[in-house]
Amino acid sequence: MILYLVLEDGSVFPGRAFGALAETTGEVVFNTGMTGYQEILTDPSYCGQIVTLTYPLIGNYGTNAEDLESPKPACQALVVREICSVPGNWRQDESVDEFCSRSGIAGICGVDTRALTRHLRHRGTMRGILTNDLERGTRWAAEVQAGTEPVLPAGLVEKVSTKETYHIPGQGPLLAVLDFGIKQNILRTAHEQGCRLAVLPAWVKPEEILALKPQGLLLSNGPGDPKNVPYAIETIRALLGSLPVFGICLGHQLLALALGADTYKLSFGHRGGNHPVQDLQTGRVYITSQNHGYAVADESLQGLPLEVTHRNLNDNTVEGLRHRELPVFSVQYHPEAAPGPHDSEYLFGEFFKLF
């Protein structure tokens, strides 16, 4: 079946359908990773987005049940140049086509993903529709241009957060985890450090967290604009000074907002496994995995009790913060994602030293 990816500016990128056959809309973004497509498909931070993969051949090692980052994929659709129809790997359970079809993810292949990525880099991320009706897509683009809707809607965190508190047993100290759309590998990495985990809904109250008597608080990754989660900002602010806090990705942005800083939307975001980040204290450069469309505003940090600990060497954006007095710090990238392969896991160790 012929499909069309129509962007809100009227640009059209034709291709062929795979996966679930469904019309869908979302923010069109691109990821520069050469591998890890299954982790991308199942990362809750992609909720509400149509993901373009820049690597030209996707699916050669299939998918498997062990590498899921969440039980249910949250992205809207997948855009690729070429989809592998005959994957070959001893760990595979099914192909990407089969996985997307079963998971309800629409797919389009045969797209000139290089041209699409260059367009998004030049114009910025924007909304798109995946449809087999070009006339319908053109009408949709005109309606979007005439409206004032935000690129990403509110309520994304509520879609992907756990609805009830659950526990991961262990022998060590208890770590409270605020789930804004957490990746499973964050939980695995924290658990392997010797922690018991209590994973809580994003909207849980401060007193409910303190009632568990945890030794630390982890703020997870998640989708969308951090300013759309005001209740979490208030919860974090109320807990500062009571617990050591470590924020990752969206958790980093929410922590900054709770401390009085500001955030803004990046033109086309950081998504991929090859972003160079420098630790300003040691000078060491780490190759990091990232997936975010918002960042902490540098100028908003003036006069706050925060120091910048890490910077992105591509665009000098803030990648890490530390409170000057409290046991509180955060990073914008994913220290559990292992692109280097394990360069940044030391941050979990630094966090647990604060208990």
What amino acid positions are annotated as catalytic residues? 249, 334, 336
Q: HSE (CB half, 13 Å, CA atoms) of 64?
A: 11
User: What count of other Cβ atoms lies within 10 Å of the Cβ of residue 145?
Assistant: 11
DSSP-derived secondary structure for 307-353: EEEEEETTT--EEEEEESSSSEEEESSBTTS-SSSSGGGHHHHHHHT
Q: Which phi and psi angles does 248 have, rounded to 5°? A: -125, 125
Q: HSE (CB half, 13 Å, CA atoms) of 151?
A: 22
Distance between CA 266 and CA 269 in Å, rounded?
5
Distance between CA 120 and CA 316 in Å, rounded?
20
Distance between CA 119 and CA 16 in Å, rounded?
20
Distant-in-sequence, close-in-space partners of 339: CB < 8 Å, separation ≥ 6: 273, 274, 287, 288, 289
Reduced to 3 states (helix: H, G, I; strand: E, B; else coil), residue 11 is: coil
